[in-house]
Amino acid sequence: MKILLVRGSSQPVNSSFYNLQEIGLARALAKKNIKCDIVYINSEKSMKKETVYTFKDVSVDIYWVPGLRIFKDAIYVNLFLKGFFHDYDIIQSAEYNSIMTLLISLLYRNKLIVYHGPYDEGRHKKIYKLFDILFLNLIRKNTKFIFTKSILAEEYLRQKGFKNIETIGVGLDIENLRDKNNESDEVLFNKDNFKYILYAGVLEDRRNILFILEVLQIILKKKENVKLIIIGKGEEDYVKKAFDYAEALGVGNSIIHHEKTPQKEMYKYYMTADVFIFPSKMEIFGMVLLESMFYGVPTVSSYNGGACTLIEHESNGYIHKDFNKKEWASRIIEILDNENIEKLKQKSKETILAKYTWDTIADRFIEKYRFLASHNINVRKDKSN
């Protein structure tokens, strides 16, 4: 069985990034003796092939393909003209409302699986509305099965009339992570005198950075020995605005900011952190939630795609549906003062290991792949008769 994962986004990617979802899934499939290739957009004029992983004799190959760019979408015209898709038993496309998903559903509908993440139309609302007017009925008819990355994404698609949907989440490639349980005393900062709150991600309005600073101000009025670690960068104007605001709130001296940290060193920050916070206004999933929970860091998150899928409130983490800074501050102080939180930490890690590694998630994909591949064989036999 041969699988092809098609990323229909016009946004370029870097194959060296440790957490590309297509590569994580393809690696897990290779370890289960299933050949899986990937299509990403190439800014150059010619198609290139890159082998990024090999397990025994099964390779994961990326095809870097030139594509037409229309709004957020890439269209790989040459792949259709060359019959590239004929060699694959299953074609997996990202997002129901991409042009590549539409074209694949028209030409290879019996091979199509969609792996959908968004649950909010955001700034592309008018474009998505037009897409639905023109193509929603056709996509619904031709899509055999949809996996979603979150419960919110599943609800979003059911409201649009889709069926045969299963929420599967997103996987963590734990082979690329160092487990803090195997390390000794590798913390970055003084743990005797301070408690540490960690945020990791882009510094932007969607991630609610100013809200984090306001929460920190409330916490510091009640607990002076607290530091906020921020890992990430953003647009220059927004970053300046955020740190000017921190100074205005009087919390600037309590912030440790590192713009970029190699992934192999991130475990040290999780090992140092007493609590991880993620008050994103909207998040398709959020890989950092997977990481923080894997490392057993008590996690406080807004109600977003990843959190509502991963977190069972007060069992393996905490979800706040509102952005009430006093409530967030109280929750964080409660965690910082609670020395008997080991059960929550352990359950947090167990959740990821049991359900949200790529190796685990790959098994659920394989079940549907085999069903569709078998169906395709039956379709070909029927047509030949």
Assign 377 a pLDDT band (cuts: 50, 70, 90): low
Tell whether 300 and 369 lie within a shared domain. no
What pLDDT was estimated at residue 381? 40
Answer yes or no: is pLDDT of 136 > 80.
yes
Assign 186 a pLDDT band (cuts: 50, 70, 90): low
Answer yes or no: is pLDDT of 384 > 60.
no
Tell whether 43 and 107 lie within a shared domain. yes
Tell whether 262 and 300 lie within a shared domain. yes
Q: What is the mean pLDDT of residues 16-42?
A: 93
Tell whether 215 and 348 lie within a shared domain. yes
Specify the DSSP element, H or E, that contains 353: helix 342-355
Tell whether 123 and 200 lie within a shared domain. no
Per mean pLDDT, which of 41-45, 121-125, 280-284 is the most reliable? Answer: 280-284
Q: What is the mean pLDDT of residues 182-203?
A: 78
What pLDDT was estimated at residue 122? 79
Q: What is the mean pLDDT of residues 166-186?
A: 74
Q: DSSP letters along 100-167, please?
A: HHHHHHHH-GGGEEEEE-----GGGHHHHHHHHHHHHHHHHHH--EEEESSHHHHHHHHHTT--SEEE
- For helices 99-107 and 125-142, angle between their N-to-C axes, nearest 10 degrees: 20
Tell whether 82 and 204 lie within a shared domain. no
- Burial string for 250-267 (b: 16+ CB within 10 Å, else e) reads ebeebbbbeeeeeeeebb
What pLDDT was estimated at residue 16? 79
CATH number at residue 275: 3.40.50.2000
Q: What is the mean pLDDT of residues 95-120?
A: 95
Tell whether 275 and 346 lie within a shared domain. yes
Tell whether 309 and 235 lie within a shared domain. yes
Answer yes or no: is pLDDT of 216 > 80.
yes
Tell whether 102 and 182 lie within a shared domain. no
What is the chain's mean pLDDT, rounded? 92
The domain containing residue 343 runs over which residues? 174-355
Assign 379 a pLDDT band (cuts: 50, 70, 90): very low
Tell whether 168 and 277 lie within a shared domain. no
Tell whether 53 and 185 lie within a shared domain. no
- Overall number of domains in the chain: 2
Tell whether 28 and 154 lie within a shared domain. yes
